[in-house]
Amino acid sequence: MAYQDLREWLDQVNWLGELKTVEGADWDLEIGAIIEMARKESQVAPCLLFDSIKGFAKGLRIVAGQLNSIKRVALTCGMPTDMATMDLVRSMRKKIKDLKPIPPREVKEGPFMENVWEEKDVDVLRFPTPRYNIGDGGRYIGTGHLTITRDPEEGWLNIGTYRVVVHDSNSLGLYISPGRHARIQMEKYFAQKHPMPVALSLGHDPLLFMASAFEVPYGLSEYDFAGGLKGEPIDVVKLAQTGLQVPASAEVVIEGECLPGDVKTEGPFGEWTGYYASHVREEPVIRIRRMYFRNDPIMAGAPPSRPPTEATFYKSFWRSAMIWEELERAGVPDVVGVYCPPEGNTRLLTVVAIRQRYPGHARQAGLVASQCHAAAYLGRFTVVVDEDIDPTDMKDVWWAMTTRCDPVEDIEILRRCLSGPLDPIIQRGKKGFNSRAIIDACRPYEWLKDFPASVIVPQDLARQVREKWGKQILS
């Protein structure tokens, strides 16, 4: 059944048996370490609800690892919760293909208005913000949040997840990478010497978090995109001071502004590559003008880290679906699967399976999959495999790479491709470009028929054996 807000979503996750409540953890490093342990050491990483955080009252909660299981991703997207990985990728592709954006619906109020702090009363230090990792240069209140801004010239509203650090009781720091939509909007405000109004939602329907970290095209609001995914408008409330719309179901809302020239040191922060690559820089400050929160609020945390993480987990399905869609639109035929494994951070490794039709088909698939929009930024390796290889099974992929790829013939290098400040292998001062490898791990087309036959157990024999002996041998 469809859920209405984060709290109903948590009830359903509990019903699925995937919610764990943690009482008494320390915001300083311990929460971060628990998140890491949960995602690295459990079969299915649970959704974690931290309560009674050390030094804070019971009820002030943090939810983490929300989208770290196939069932929870499917629940959030309104899909059946019992799908295999490649079926989930196929369903997402269909969702994107058929998606019709639905604008949000404005309502008068939301439960987040239960408590309001005016500017003079604002004190974010009363919320349990974690310091996630030991090398982090601060406590990051914004990782699973929404940053909401409006374009000063074109009027459209953008939502992005751009990390937010706590500077002090009423000011925060914001890091937005070059080219991101809010950064383009900010540059427009500052060019006119105007402040940029900004709203943050710090706890909400995870579908909105998904949309806010998704490559929604420039000019289209993530609310419209999320509405399209949900099949109904997202309810929003227009804030009095900034006129920005925030989710009606938000748990905690911050309203503020960034002023031209108002910057402070930000970073380092454990990033999605698993490194502190963007170091420390001067970045814009958010001056908080008002803060709202529900009783017993739940803030969302989704710290990036060494992969696989929550974000790389759920993004693996979306990025795979988008690349697959773009391959087809570019006219690459007979793609039978695409997978961007969380271990490769979804950006750094893409596997494409094709049914080879003609000479050069594998290179074509590899080059397009490496350079299409969904893959262009900070990619690294693209592997093309035959249709008998399951792209979601890394054992299969390694086997294809080690047996069907002749490095001298089958690895193409592309130079001067799109990278950015977060790319760990590019030296400081040289950031911007990187190179890509296309690894053709398909059997060579010209002697496909003569290629050594694979050793396989026929499917019907495998099934019979599993029925007869499986219980005894596999349990």
Q: Residue holding tokens 């590559």?
A: 273
The answer to whether 214 contacts ligand FMN (rule: CB under 6 A) is yes
104, 128, 297, 304: residue in contact with ligand FMN (rule CB under 6 A):
304
Tell me the per-residue interface mask from 86 to 115 with Mn ion, x by CB under 5 A, - otherwise: ------------------------------
Tell whether residue 245 is a contact of ligand FMN (CB under 6 A). Answer: no
Of 121 and 215, nearer to ligand FMN (C-beta) is: 215
Q: Please count the residues of this chain forming the interface with ligand FMN, following the rule CB under 6 A.
A: 19
Residue 148 contacts ligand FMN per CB under 6 A:
no
Least Å distance, CB 339 to ligand FMN, is: 19
| Comparison of 123 and 215: residue with beta carbon closer to ligand FMN | 215
- Asked if 70 is part of the footprint of ligand FMN (rule: CB under 6 A), the reply reads no
Q: Is 162 in the site for ligand FMN (CB under 6 A)?
A: yes
Q: What are the strands of the beta sheet with 433-441, ordered from one edge? A: 335-339, 349-354, 381-386, 433-441, 411-418
Instruction: Closer to ligand FMN by CB, 213 or 367: give it.
Output: 213
Name beta bridge partners: 433. Answer: 418
Q: Taking the complex as a whole, how short is the minimal distance between the CB of residue 404 and Mn ion, in angstroms? A: 39
Q: Which pairing describes strands 235-238 and 263-266: parallel, antiparallel, or unpaired?
A: unpaired
Which residues inside 165-184 make contact with ligand FMN, applying CB under 6 A?
Answer: 175-177, 180-182
Name the token pair of 30.
């311990």
Is residue 216 a contact point for Mn ion (CB under 5 A)?
yes
302 binds ligand FMN (CB under 6 A): yes
The residue from 106, 121, 187, 215 that contacts ligand FMN (CB under 6 A) is 215
Closest CA to 268 of 279, 259, 260, 284: 279
183 binds Mn ion (CB under 5 A): no
Site residues for Mn ion, window 143-182 (CB under 5 A)?
158, 181
Question: Which of 161, 305, 382, 419 touches ligand FMN (CB under 6 A)?
Answer: 161
Q: Are 265 and 282 in contact (CB under 8 A)?
A: yes
- Residue with smaller CB distance to Mn ion, 148 or 383: 148
Smallest gap from Cβ 35 to ligand FMN, in A, equals: 12
Instruction: Report what 175 binds from ligand FMN, Mn ion, none; CB cut-off 5-8 Å by kind.
Output: ligand FMN
Does 339 help bind ligand FMN (rule: CB under 6 A)?
no
- Residues forming contacts to ligand FMN in the complex (CB under 6 A) are 143, 158, 160-163, 175-177, 180-182, 213-216, 302, 304, 311
Residue numbers of the site for Mn ion (CB under 5 A)?
158, 181, 216
